């Protein structure tokens, strides 16, 4: 032990330099350490969702959920498989044994899903493997409201601008929107007017679908994406592409229904048998912001993401977008777990500082030697920093 003391005194400047490096490295490591409200306590989980528009819960169970369950049975490392089938949606959750590599498990599930997809009903959308989420999942809740814009317009801004920007933040897995009202033209048929002109519902649906370039109705003539050929010139080949005009309720209402005519000989239009308006699909949930209607954005983070980093990244993205979102109020304080973490770190820092001061005072009081107190006050934080290596 004596030679250690002698070497330390002989190379005291080197020892001081190494101690300073250790302190700097420890502080940097401490600042970048992952801190969360709760640790990752949930086992690895993979969730598969399949949208099946127009199917009842029983049909979803028999035609979608059961084939997927049969294909996913026997995946290496699988511990428990749960499923639920509701109208239009199949949801399967696969829980793997602790210690299973999540990325490897997702790859195995993706291979099984790809193999069974060709036998699913044609009207079922491709199965989607949900992004992996942390045990607590929600890193932040953001409230959006506006006194200037309609909620359908706010929903479109939230989906295409705010949500799309937040998904670019490192660590963000998904941003679902509660109370979302997707803006779309709706044809609300009037049975009395349809009977007056002897028009069937199928005729109105076919005409409406064919007038749109994208439609939820399958096999419509208008829902065609492809090339219209090309034109040869002396120095280049020009591709032909069919681009339909922008559809609004006003233009959609002017579309004629097949070759039908009214008693006066004029074409029978969609607006003659229906009310064509802007609307949205039935809400499955809603959000109340500041005692009024609004939207709730739920920021979900990846299992390995740092809550503080995700929160700061989201807030920076929101602040960068605020100048371009005039008339829209964005509240990021509704649910912010990072506040609890920051408060805990501040309280712990204050406690450590108070404890360090008390240690120095006690050493001075009992030893009556400021050098010994200084050495002890230096060794304690150095030991803590060394434990981070």
What are residue 71's phi and psi, to 5 degrees? -75, -30
Distance CA 267, CA 282 (A): 32
Is the predicted pLDDT of residue 66 greater than 90, yes or no? Answer: yes
Name the token pair of 93: 């959750």
Identify the H or E element spanning 383. Answer: helix 370-386
Query: What pLDDT is stored for residue 228 in this prediction?
Result: 67
**Average pLDDT score, the chain:** 84
Q: Could you write out the DSSP letters of every residue in 39-50?
A: ---SPPEEEEEE
Query: What pLDDT is stored for residue 191 in this prediction?
Result: 92
Using pLDDT thresholds of 50, 70 and 90, give the confidence band for residue 63. very high
- Cα–chain center distance at 16: 49
Using pLDDT thresholds of 50, 70 and 90, give the confidence band for residue 219. very low
Pairs from 188-197 (Cβ < 8 Å, separation ≥ 24): 188/274, 188/275, 188/276, 188/277, 188/279, 189/273, 189/274, 190/273, 190/274, 190/275, 193/272, 193/273, 193/274, 194/273, 194/274, 197/260, 197/262, 197/268, 197/272, 197/273
Lowest mean pLDDT among 92-106, 173-187, 245-259: 245-259
Lowest mean pLDDT among 45-49, 75-79, 374-378: 374-378
This prediction has a pTM of 0.75
Distance CA 317, CA 311 (A): 10
Distance CA 88, CA 368 (A): 79
Is the predicted pLDDT of residue 47 greater than 80, yes or no? Answer: yes
Q: Which residues of 8-37 are buried (b: 16+ CB within 10 A; e: fewer)?
A: eeeeeeeeeeebeebbeebeeeeeeeeebe
Residue 224's SS3 state is: coil
**Closest Cα partner for 308 from 30, 28, 37?**
37
Distance CA 318, CA 252 (A): 36
* Segment 24-36, tens digit of pLDDT: 777 777 666 677 7
Q: Helix 370-386 vs helix 337-367: angle between axes, to the nearest 10 degrees? A: 150
What is each CA distance from 119 to 56, 126, 130, 312, in whole angstroms? 19, 11, 21, 45
Helices and strands (H, E) in the chain, number of each type:
13, 16
Query: What pLDDT is stored for residue 387 in this prediction?
Result: 67
**Residue 372 neighbours by CB distance under 10 Å:** 13
**Is the pLDDT higher at 347 or at 370?**
347
* Segment 165-217, tens digit of pLDDT: 999 999 999 999 998 888 888 899 999 999 999 898 988 888 888 777 655 55
Those residues whose C-beta lies under 8 Å from the C-beta of residue 387, and which sit 6 or more positions away, are none
Distance CA 138, CA 384 (A): 32
Query: What pLDDT is stored for residue 68 in this prediction?
Result: 94
Q: Could you write out the DSSP letters of every residue in 118-187?
A: GGS-TTBPPPEEPPP--SS-EEEEEEEE-SSS-HHHHHHHIIIIIIHHHTTSTTEEE--EET----EEEE
What is each CA distance from 123 to 87, 112, 128, 223, 370, in whole angstroms? 14, 20, 15, 15, 81
Q: Could you write out the DSSP letters of every residue in 73-85?
A: TT-TTEEEEEEEE
Domains of the chain with CATH codes: 2-33+345-386 (no CATH), 45-129 (3.30.70.1430), 138-183+283-335 (3.30.70.1320), 184-279 (3.30.2090.10)
Strand partners, 91: 49, 84
Query: What pLDDT is stored for residue 41 in this prediction?
Result: 80
**Residue 328 neighbours by CB distance under 10 Å:** 22
- Cα–chain center distance at 47: 14
């Amino acid at each position: 032990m004596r030679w250690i003391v002698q070497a330390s005194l002989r190379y005291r400047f080197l020892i001081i330099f190494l101690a300073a490096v250790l302190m700097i490295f420890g502080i940097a490591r401490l600042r970048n350490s992952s801190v969360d409200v709760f640790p990752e306590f949930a086992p690895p989980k993979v969730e598969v969702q399949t949208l099946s528009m127009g199917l009842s819960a029983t049909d979803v169970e028999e035609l979608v959920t059961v084939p997927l369950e049969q294909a996913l049975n026997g995946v290496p490392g699988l511990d428990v498989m749960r499923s639920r089938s509701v109208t239009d949606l199949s949801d399967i959750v696969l829980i793997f044994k602790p210690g299973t590599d999540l990325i490897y498990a997702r790859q195995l599930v993706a291979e099984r899903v790809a193999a069974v997809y060709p036998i699913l009903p044609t009207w079922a959308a491709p199965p989607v493997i949900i992004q992996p989420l942390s045990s607590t999942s929600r890193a932040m809740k953001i409230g959006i409201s506006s006194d200037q814009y309609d909620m359908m317009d706010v929903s479109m801004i939230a989906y295409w601008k705010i949500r799309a920007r937040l998904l670019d933040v490192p660590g963000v897995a998904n941003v679902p929107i509660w109370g979302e009202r997707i803006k779309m033209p709706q044809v609300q048929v009037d049975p009395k007017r349809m009977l007056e002109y002897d028009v069937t519902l199928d005729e109105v649906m076919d005409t409406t679908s064919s007038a749109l370039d994208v439609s939820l109705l399958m096999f419509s003539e208008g829902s065609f994406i492809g090339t219209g050929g090309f034109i040869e010139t002396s120095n280049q080949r020009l591709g032909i592409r069919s681009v339909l005009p922008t559809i609004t309720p006003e233009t959609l209402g002017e579309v004629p229904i097949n070759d039908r005519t009214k008693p006066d000989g004029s074409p029978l239009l969609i607006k003659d048998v229906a009310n064509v308006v802007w609307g949205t699909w039935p809400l499955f949930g809603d959000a109340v912001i500041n005692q009024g209607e609004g939207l709730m954005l739920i920021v979900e983070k990846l299992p390995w993401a740092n809550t503080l980093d995700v929160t700061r990244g989201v807030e920076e993205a929101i602040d960068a977008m605020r100048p371009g979102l005039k008339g829209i109020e964005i509240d990021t304080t509704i649910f912010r777990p990072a506040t609890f973490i920051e408060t805990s770190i501040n309280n712990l820092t204050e406690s450590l500082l108070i404890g360090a001061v008390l240690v120095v005072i006690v050493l001075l009081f009992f030893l009556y030697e400021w050098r010994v107190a200084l050495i002890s006050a230096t060794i304690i934080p150095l030991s803590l920093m060394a434990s981070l290596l």
